[in-house]
Amino acid sequence: MKKILIALGILIILAIVIFASYNSLVSKDQAVQSSWAQVETDYQRRADLIPNLVATVKGVANFEQETLTDVVNARAKATGINLDANDLTPEKITQFENAQTDLSGALSRLLVVAEAYPTLTASESFRGLQTQLEGTENRIAVSRKDFNIAVQDYNTAIRVFPTNIIAKIFSFEEKAYFESVAGGDVVPSVEF
């Protein structure tokens, strides 16, 4: 009888560890998904501001059509990539980030070239949109940082003992981080 009680006690403790580990992993996975949703929201905010910026630039300046076309095309490419928070592989995040980097480069060129048009840069609507874009870029950086922290917490949890056993049993897979894009440290060149 004593052996049965000891075995039952061990099974109860094991069940508690399994349930606690599983619930912890689910919570961390949800934190990653929530952080990813915020990243997407901030990138969408930037994409939503671009048509207003382009319209303002077109309305005020006799602007370089190629630069405007590049911005519009880069926005279409960036908004055309949708990732599922449950499938954040390094390849898919890199694809997403490359499209966003192209958009960032096109926006940078637009803003630099726009400075050559005093009427445009003096326009209150242009200045307001430029300020909103700068704020959005800061939000994106914070969201990406928060996402990477959530991914680090999750990835650590699925690798430590004994949670790693539960993670393998229930197929919790490692998530990918946002990383620097090759050439992301190079300032885009603009020629007049």
Q: Set out the domains of the chain in order of their start, with CATH numbers.
A: 2-169 (1.20.1440.20)
Rounded-to-integer distance, Cα 50 and Cα 107, Å: 8
124 by Cβ neighbours in 10 Å (0-12 / 13-18 / 19+) ranks as exposed
Q: Which of 175, 181, 150, 173 is nearest to 78 (CA)?
A: 181
Residues of the chain with confidence (pLDDT) below 50: 185, 187-192
**What does the pLDDT read at residue 74?**
82
Provide the token pair at 188: 């885009």
The model's pLDDT over 48-58, given as tens digits with 9 standing for 90+, comes to: 888 877 777 76
Predicted local distance difference test score (pLDDT) of residue 190:
40
pLDDT tens for 86-111 read 777 888 888 888 888 888 888 887 77
pLDDT for residue 173? 92
d(CA 23, CA 20): 5
Q: What is the pLDDT of residue 59?
A: 64
Q: Report pLDDT for 188.
A: 46
Give residue 174's pLDDT.
92
- 108 CB contacts (<8 Å, ≥6 apart)? 187, 188, 190
The pTM for the full model equals 0.73
Which pLDDT value is given to residue 121? 64
Give me the helices (H) in the chain, please. 2-60, 65-79, 90-114, 118-122, 124-157, 163-169
